[in-house]
């Protein structure tokens, strides 16, 4: 493989200005909430009682500085890759290079619990997607296919000639296009969520059940996606101006998409959830992040009509969005060269934060087998 110039990497430390935190507390103190919705809690969206209690803790109890110190315990960097200032965590460990790509409404913090579990085997790179948190997003269309090219440049610039990739949600699309457009350096790819659908109609009973479940979920839950893929700027005004609105919009997804049993706090803990929200709030990037929907749906990159020949592993978390009609292996095999397909006993859409041990074990087994058999790193 031809050598490429190293990217210019600079150490990075998260340091949110105190004026930003003071403004956040003032906005939280002035929150104007609607009345309660009729029916069951969460039935019409984010529950009023839960949100009121969470906002009070965000204002008076949450210690961002403690969370900031915990985040800064991980080695973080920024690098200029084309016209994007890419923020990333980079921990050198066991030697198999692995880049992890998050989705929406998530951030790099979702993957941090994996680091101590992966570094005995992997060098771990966790970038923030363009426009999420501490990564910039240029004023042009930027799709997951474009991000895949950025990630290749980042990994090669860091000195890696062979590497693997893992992703979920939009990160799964980025990982897919890394393998589809530039397969030569790819050891393998791995997914915790798989949203792509084959063009051909379903052939098996399991595929038909899965497709029906997806269609039912879309009819009930897909409203956010229609808004974000058509008029994201209109939505961005309220979410950027109101921390209560931001929390309601994001946490409703974390509750319903995770294997949470309806209890966000028990599943993730409030400090984790508020760390995620504060990353979005302090950087003012919620409007940039939701542009992924407009850019990708307009460009057609949200669907896949080509076969991906790079060896593929899938951790099939059964509470990932669709609760009935589980993703069948044969569905994935129409699109990917599936070498490993693991049905997980629990876990949902945010698997790295929900079940890091299960996900890390699957990643380790999949990539270790590939490297041991026939795929040297250089």
User: b or e along 7-20 (b: 16 or more beta carbons within 10 Å of the residue's beta carbon)?
Assistant: bebeebebebeeee
Angle at 244 between CA 243 and CA 249, to 5 degrees: 95
d(CA 302, CA 61): 40
Candidate list 293, 295, 336, 362, residue with the active-site label: 293
**349 in catalytic set:** yes
User: b or e along 89-98 (b: 16 or more beta carbons within 10 Å of the residue's beta carbon)?
Assistant: bbbebeebbb
d(CA 45, CA 248): 8
Candidate list 102, 152, 190, 349, residue with the active-site label: 349
Residues counted in the chain: 378
- H-helix or E-strand spanning residue 86: strand 84-91
Candidate list 146, 169, 292, 362, residue with the active-site label: 169
> What SS3 class is residue 107?
coil
How many Cα atoms sit within 13 Å of 334 on the Cβ side? Answer: 17
Angle at 187 between CA 171 and CA 349, to 5 degrees: 25
Residues identified as active-site: 169, 293, 349
């Amino acid at each position: 493989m031809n050598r490429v110039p190293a990217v210019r990497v600079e150490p990075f430390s998260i340091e949110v200005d105190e004026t930003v935190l003071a403004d956040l507390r003032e906005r939280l103190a002035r929150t104007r909430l609607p009345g309660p919705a009729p029916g069951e809690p969460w039935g019409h969206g984010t529950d009023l009682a839960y949100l009121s209690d969470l906002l009070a803790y965000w204002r008076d109890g949450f210690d961002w500085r403690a969370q900031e110190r915990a985040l800064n315990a991980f080695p973080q960097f920024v690098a200029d890759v084309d016209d994007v200032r890419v923020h990333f965590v980079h921990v050198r460990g066991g030697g198999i290079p692995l880049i992890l790509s998050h989705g929406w409404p998530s951030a790099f913090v979702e993957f941090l619990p994996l680091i101590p579990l992966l570094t005995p085997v992997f060098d771990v790179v966790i970038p923030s997607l363009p426009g999420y948190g501490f990564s910039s997003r240029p004023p042009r269309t930027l799709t997951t296919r474009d991000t895949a090219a950025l990630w290749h440049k980042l990994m090669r610039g860091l000195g890696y000639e062979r590497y693997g990739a893992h992703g979920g949600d939009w990160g799964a699309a980025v990982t897919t296009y890394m393998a589809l457009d530039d397969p030569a350096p790819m050891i393998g790819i791995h997914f915790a969520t798989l949203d792509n659908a084959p063009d051909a109609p379903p052939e098996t009973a399991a595929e038909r059940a899965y497709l029906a479940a997806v269609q039912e979920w879309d009819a009930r839950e897909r409203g956010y996606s229609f808004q974000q893929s058509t008029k994201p700027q209109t939505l961005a005004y309220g979410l950027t101006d109101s921390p209560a609105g931001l929390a309601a919009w994001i946490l409703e997804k974390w509750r319903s998409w995770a294997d949470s049993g309806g209890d966000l706090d028990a599943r993730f803990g409030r400090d984790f959830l508020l760390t995620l929200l504060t990353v979005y709030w302090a950087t003012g990037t919620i409007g940039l992040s939701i542009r992924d929907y407009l850019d990708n749906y307009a460009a057609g990159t949200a669907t896949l009509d080509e076969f991906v020949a790079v060896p593929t592993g899938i951790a099939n978390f059964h509470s990932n969005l669709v609760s009935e009609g589980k993703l069948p292996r044969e569905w994935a095999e129409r699109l990917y060269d599936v070498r490993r397909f693991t049905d997980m006993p629990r876990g949902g859409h945010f698997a790295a934060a929900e079940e890091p041990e299960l996900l890390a074990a699957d990643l380790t087994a999949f990539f270790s087998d590939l490297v041991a058999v026939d795929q040297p790193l250089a």
